Structure 1
Amino acid sequence: MTSILSSYLAAALQLTSTPDPDANLQAAEEQIDLAARQGAALVGLPENFAFLGDDRQKLALAPMLAERCSQFLVTMAHRYQVILLGGGFPVPAGDGAIYNRAELVGRDGQLLARYDKIHLFDVNLPDGNTYQESATVRSGDSSPPVVHVSGLGCLGLSICYDVRFPELYRFLASRGAQVLLIPAAFTAFTGKDHWEVLLRARAIENTAYVFAPAQTGVHYHRRQSHGHALVIDPWGTVLADAGTSPGVAMAEMRTDRLEQVQRQMPSLCHRKPSLFPLHT
């Protein structure tokens, strides 16, 4: 196992993003500034941090948002000297659709990792709401990355709906991920029953920290997000919960805790993958 810093503070930010990119990015910077002032080394923005609105407007703004979001992450990471996760923003896919992309940026403004969301949220919920992310978003065609960040350890990227697919996180864990990054805009209806349960499960089964920035509140029309940005330890203990207002869930990531849990519960070492081949 690659050791992480003996301890560092991680800040999972919680926003109520709207169709106004200027207001969203201003709100994001305010939270980044607050987290940095409190000593956070890793700061994460949720999915749709720069824009949460109508799909047609999102497609029209995608070229501008793609460039602006990437530059915003570089500027913020360098200005506040943090490792910064941009949890998801639209990037033109070249065929009239977009990718939902997360980027991880280092303190010097260097791009450390990039991930295009693989699993798309196409569901019909019992509350009458229907979501069809695939109508405008193309699924990423590359495996989610694991990147070693000096002082922070091995970070594995994912986005929101991915959390329902445990094989993705087992893939990340098998490649050494010690912190699972799961930025989201989880719906209020599904979040009340599934959000914390799924995140704790991903932490427990992979004996890894889970770092989950989130959207909260009402954004436009009927769209409402669950909130509760979380930081969870490898035992599945919730270390920080941002509640339902914009703010931050901040907690300490500790090497000794990670190693203790992996020593006491070495379940990853007990796997028998040859007996349970995956079928498509």
Structure 2
Amino acid sequence: MKASIAIAQIPITWDIERNLAAITSLLANVHPDEIVVLPEGALSGYGTDLSALERLQPSALEHAMDCLAELAQRRAIHLFCGTLLFEHDAWSNAALYFSPDGTRWTYRKINLAMNERGRLQAGSELSTLPIHLASGPVTLGVQICREIRFPEQWQHLADCGAQAFIYLTHAANPSEPAGVWRSHLISRAAENQRFVLAANVADPRQHCPSMVISPRGEVLAEANSDETTVIRTTIDLDESANWYLDQRRQDLLKLSYQARTYP
């Protein structure tokens, strides 16, 4: 089953209106039925220093989300957008999905970065998302930024039926060694035999490229710089498989866990 992919690498500010304008301009060039992936914090803004949260207006964010929902319907696209989200008197780091039929879905980051702890509320669900493309139904898993470091979360999503991973990040930390996060993404794709669709911020300090990776670990498309760009490709979701996952020695893993838990 074929799916058209558009990965948008865009600059992000702490100005909601400016971010919305940039996203709106980008969406003018998308194609119906495309899966479009934007970076972490693309709508609200994001950064290592989260003190700007004190100036973010939840009402402005709600309005911007409504605008994106309307745009997704008008363009008939499957849109994934990162944002900080204010709910029940607390902020979380979220990935929003806007469907062509108006349906919305939210994934809240469950493994927070150190700068987020104490400021953001961690999510409590790691569930898959079924969507409906013109070619048929597909099940997706979503992860955000540092969750690249926790392969068990990706494996859980694969076990739950995810055929591809949507990955939103704001990886722009000059202290991170070059190439490590890129290697992590290739590993998450190859070890789970799933596509990885990754969008990062356009930033000169970027340390993880925006790219599309096949279930074999092949990089199918990649942004060649830290500039604003959209990379496009078509993937065949029938290439996703469980050949390696089915070979896991889960009997030994269970015994090891039991030995540690019940000495």
With normalisation by structure 2, the TM-score equals 0.87
Answer yes or no: is 1:89 the counterpart of 2:83: yes
Q: 2:199 aligns with which of 195, 204, 213?
A: 213
Distance 1:65-1:268 versus aligned 2 partners, 3 A rule:
farther
- Residue 34 of structure 2 aligns to a residue whose secondary structure is strand
Same amino acid, percent of matched pairs: 28
Task: List aligned pairs for 1:1-280, cutoff 5 A.
Answer: 6-36=1-31, 41-50=34-43, 51-52=45-46, 55-86=50-81, 88-95=82-89, 97-111=90-104, 113-122=105-114, 132-142=115-125, 144-151=126-133, 153-189=138-174, 190=176, 192-217=178-203, 224-226=205-207, 228-243=209-224, 244-258=226-240, 262=241, 266-277=243-254
Distance 1:274-1:76 versus aligned 2 partners, 3 A rule:
farther
Query: What is the letter of the counterpart of residue 233 of structure 2?
Result: A
Query: What is the letter of the counterpart of residue 227 of structure 2?
Result: S
Segments of 5+ residues of structure 2 without an aligned counterpart are none
Task: Encode CA deviations 1:24-56: one digit per residue, 9 max, x unaligned.
Answer: 1111122222233xx661001110102135523
- Aligned-partner Cα distance in 1 for 2:177–2:16: 25
Query: What is the letter of the counterpart of residue 221 of structure 2?
Result: A
Task: Encode CA deviations 1:91-132: one digit per residue, 9 max, x unaligned.
Answer: 22545x411111112101211x3111011111xxxxxxxxx1
Query: What is the letter of the counterpart of residue 200 of structure 1?
Result: I
- Aligned-partner Cα distance in 1 for 2:177–2:57: 27
Task: Encode CA deviations 1:151-194: one digit per residue, 9 max, x unaligned.
Answer: 35111111111111000001000001011011110124327232
CA contact (8 A) 1:13 1:249 kept: yes
- Aligned-partner Cα distance in 2 for 1:183–1:14: 10
With normalisation by structure 1, the TM-score equals 0.82
- Aligned-partner Cα distance in 1 for 2:84–2:77: 23
- Aligned-partner Cα distance in 2 for 1:80–1:120: 33
Distance 1:60-1:9 versus aligned 2 partners, 3 A rule:
same
> After TM superposition, what 4+ stretches of structure 1 lie above 4 angstroms from structure 2?
none
Distance 1:213-1:267 versus aligned 2 partners, 3 A rule:
same
CA contact (8 A) 2:11 2:202 kept: yes
Segments of 5+ residues of structure 1 without an aligned counterpart are 1-5, 123-131, 219-223
- Residue 200 of structure 1 aligns to a residue whose secondary structure is helix
Query: What is the letter of the counterpart of residue 115 of structure 1?
Result: Y
CA contact (8 A) 1:216 1:226 kept: no
